[in-house]
Amino acid sequence: MKIICLGETDSLFNHFMAQIRDKSVQKDSLRFRRNLERIGEIFAYEISKTLTFLPVEVETPLGIATSQILGDQMVLATILRAGLPVHQGLLNFFDGAQNAFVATYRKYGKGNECDMLVEYQSCPPLEGKTLVIADAMIASGASMLMTYESLLSNGEPDHTHIVCPVASRDGVENLSKNLPHKRVTLWVGAIDEELTNHSFIVPGLGDAGDLAFGDKN
C-alpha cells in the first residue's frame, strides 16, 4: 500500500490541519466542519494528479480549445458520521462522482472486548471504477478494513484511495498489512505515534464526530 502524507510538505494544508487540532478553534463547530471540508478538497486535488484524463475539444465563443477532462469513473465513500465533512470536500471537486455511505460501530462485550460491525451500507457498483473512502481519523484501522471489505461486495474497483486527515502509526501499519499493496493508496495529513488502549490517538484531535455534529449518547 502506497502511503502519502501531505503534512510532510509545507503548504496551506498544514494551516487547516493545525486548526482542526486546536481545542480553542474546535469550539466553533462550523469552522471545524469547514476546515475538514477544505482538507478534503486538497486531498481531491492531489488525488486527481494520479488519475486518467482524456483530451476533448471545447467550443468557446471565439473558437475551439483543446483540454483534458477526468476519465476515471469515481465513487466517493464515507464512514458515517465523522467522515461527512471530508467527503463533502472531495465531492466539491469530484462533482460528477457517485457516492457510497457505510455505518460502522463498535460493539462492546465483557471487559475491553470490542467488535466492529457494519450496520448499513449504500453503494453503487464498483467494478472498474476508482473508489475513494474518507474518514476523519484512523485509530486501530479496524473500521476502515471492515468498511473496505464491505464495499467490495459491490464489485472490485480498479484502485482505492483512502483519505484521512489524522491516523495513528498502529492504524497505518494495520492497513499496510491487510490491504492489497498495488491497488490501494493511503492519503493522510498526519501520522501520530501514540494509540491508547482505548484506541484514542495522541495528540490526535478528539472526537471528530462530536466536534462536527454535536454530542451523542
> What is the total count of domains within the chain?
1
Whether residue 177 lies inside any domain: the answer is: yes
pLDDT at 79: 93
What CATH number is given to the structural domain containing 154?
Answer: 3.40.50.2020
Whether residue 201 lies inside any domain: the answer is: yes
Whether residue 33 lies inside any domain: the answer is: no
Whether residue 158 lies inside any domain: the answer is: yes
Whether residue 53 lies inside any domain: the answer is: no
Q: Mind listing the pLDDT tens digit for each residue in 106-138?
A: 665 565 555 667 888 999 999 999 999 999 999
pLDDT at 71: 97
Q: pLDDT below 70 — which residues of the chain?
A: 106-116
pLDDT at 46: 98
- 18-26: long-range contacts, CB 8 A cutoff, minimum separation 24: 20/165, 20/205, 20/208, 21/166, 21/203, 21/204, 21/205, 23/206, 26/205, 26/206, 26/211
* pTM for the predicted model, two decimal places: 0.92
> CB of 77 within 8 A of CB of 124?
no
- The range of the structural domain enclosing residue 106 comes to 2-20+72-213
Whether residue 62 lies inside any domain: the answer is: no
pLDDT at 216: 79
Whether residue 37 lies inside any domain: the answer is: no
